[in-house]
Amino acid sequence: MSLTSLKSRFGTGLSPQEFIDSMQKNKETFETGYRDFSWKNEEDRLFFEELRSRSDLRVVLLAADWCGDVARNVPVVFRVLETAEIPVDVMILEENFDLMDEYLTMGGRSVPIVLFADAQEGEVLAQWGPRPEKVQELMRKFKAENPDREAADYAENMKVVREQMMERYGEGTSIHEVIVHELRTLLSGV
């Protein structure tokens, strides 16, 4: 899946706690999502606990604290990875453009990008992000209908789609179960 091995990135990123501690923006939103996470489905929790027996997985996660999708989604990803005991290297977007540019979303640098890799070789086995599918589909539609970033109505249309995305994220922790389900589905095939 990846153009290059992630092996050279292992051990070079921030730990999840170091990332949280370093946050300058969206920290309160992030910490609230992290603190308020709970397993809605016991089968999901057990699935991720069973991954503890797998020492062959590692995660490289591209993120930036200024990104609202990171603040909403990564707290759930961190909780899932903690439960699964999968090692994580958080790579700051602005310090890792070379890596980010291998995992563009519709041609853009969107985060978070969660890369599940083979712990020995660094081969990417699966990828999630930058947002849950039910939110991402709005952005895909927007990009298809608004290909010209210089168009007079681009900014206004972007504002509308961002409002729609916030509605899809929902209140409180409602999106958490969706992210857990997507991660479980993704990892079921790895």
Alpha carbon separation from 70 to 5, 102, 147, 152 (Å, rounded): 24, 19, 25, 29
pLDDT of residue 71: 97
pTM given for the model: 0.95
Flag whether pLDDT at 60 surpasses 80.
yes
Q: Helices in 37-128 by DSSP H: which ranges?
A: 42-50, 68-84, 97-100
Burial 112-127 (b: 16+ CB within 10 A, else e): bbbbbbbbeebebbbe
Residue 1: the pLDDT is 44
Decide if 35 contacts 76 (C-beta within 8 A).
no
Tell me: the pLDDT tens digits for 68-125? 999 999 999 999 999 999 999 999 999 999 999 999 999 999 999 999 999 999 999 9
Q: How much is the pLDDT for 84?
A: 98
The mean per-residue pLDDT over the stretch 40-66 comes to 97
Q: What residues pair up with 124 in beta bridges, in sequence order?
A: 117
Give the mean model confidence (pLDDT) for residues 37-51: 97
pLDDT at 150 over 60: yes
Interval 26-53 mean pLDDT:
97
Mean of the per-residue pLDDT values of the chain: 96
pLDDT range class, residue 3, cuts 50, 70, 90: low
Q: Inform me whether the pLDDT recorded for 133 exceeds 80.
A: yes
Q: Residue 172 — very low, low, confident or very high, per pLDDT cuts 50/70/90?
A: confident
